[in-house]
Structure 1
Amino acid sequence: MSSIEEGCSVGAAESGVDGLAVGAARFARATARLDECAAFYREIVGLTQLFAFSDHAGYSGFVFGLPGPRAQLELVRRDDAPAPPPVDPEDAVVLYLRGGFEALRERLADHGVAEVIPDNPYWVAAGAFAVLDPEGWMLIVVPPDSDADAVRIEKFTGDREEIAWSFRMAEDSEPLLAGYIGRGRVWVARNASGDVVGHIQAAPETDESTWEIVNTAVVRPLRGSGVGRRMIDTVVAAATAAGVRRLEVATATADAGNLRFYQRCGFRMTRIVPDVFTAAAGYEDVVMVDGIRMLDQVWFAREL
Structure 2
Amino acid sequence: MLAKLRVARPTDNLAAVVRFYQEGLGLTQLASFTAHNGFDGVMLGQAAAPYHLEFTQQPGHTVGRAPTADHLLVFYLPEEAEWQAAVQRLRTAGFAPVPAYNPYWDQQGLTFEDPDGYRVVLQHAAWNL
TM-score bracket for the superposition, by shorter chain length: 0.7 to 0.9
Identity %: 29
TM-score of the superposition, structure 1-length normalised? Answer: 0.38
Q: Residues 39 and 123 from structure 1, CA distance in 2 versus in 1: closer, same or farther, beyond 3 angstroms? A: same
Contact 1:114-1:131 within 8 A present in 2 as well: yes
Question: Paired residue for 2:43?
Answer: 63
Alignment partner of 1:116 out of 86, 95, 98 = 98
Would you say how many aligned residue pairs link Structure 1 and Structure 2?
A: 124
Listed as ranges, the gaps of 5+ residues in structure 2 are none
Superposition RMSD in Å = 2.1
Give the CA deviation at 1:110. 2.4
SS in 1 for 2:55: strand
- Rounded to whole Å, the distance in 2 between the matches of 1:112 and 1:43 is 10
TM-score of the superposition, structure 2-length normalised? Answer: 0.83
> Is residue 53 of structure 2 the alignment partner of residue 73 of structure 1?
yes
Alignment partner of 1:40 out of 10, 20, 23 = 20
Give the CA deviation at 1:66. 5.6
Listed as ranges, the gaps of 5+ residues in structure 1 are 1-10, 13-22, 146-304
> Is residue 95 of structure 2 the alignment partner of residue 107 of structure 1?
no
Bigger Cα Rg = 1
Contact 2:24-2:91 within 8 A present in 1 as well: no
1:1-304 → structure 2 map (5 Å cutoff): 12=2, 23-65=3-45, 68-97=48-77, 99=79, 100-125=82-107, 127-145=108-126
Higher RCO (Cα < 8 Å, 6 or more apart): 2
SS in 2 for 1:108: helix
Question: Paired residue for 1:3?
Answer: none
Give the CA deviation at 1:95. 1.1
Moved over 4 A (4+): none
Give the CA deviation at 1:69. 4.9
- What do residues 151-184 of structure 1 show as CA deviations (whole Å, max 9, x unaligned)? xxxxxxxxxxxxxxxxxxxxxxxxxxxxxxxxxx
Give the CA deviation at 1:44. 2.1
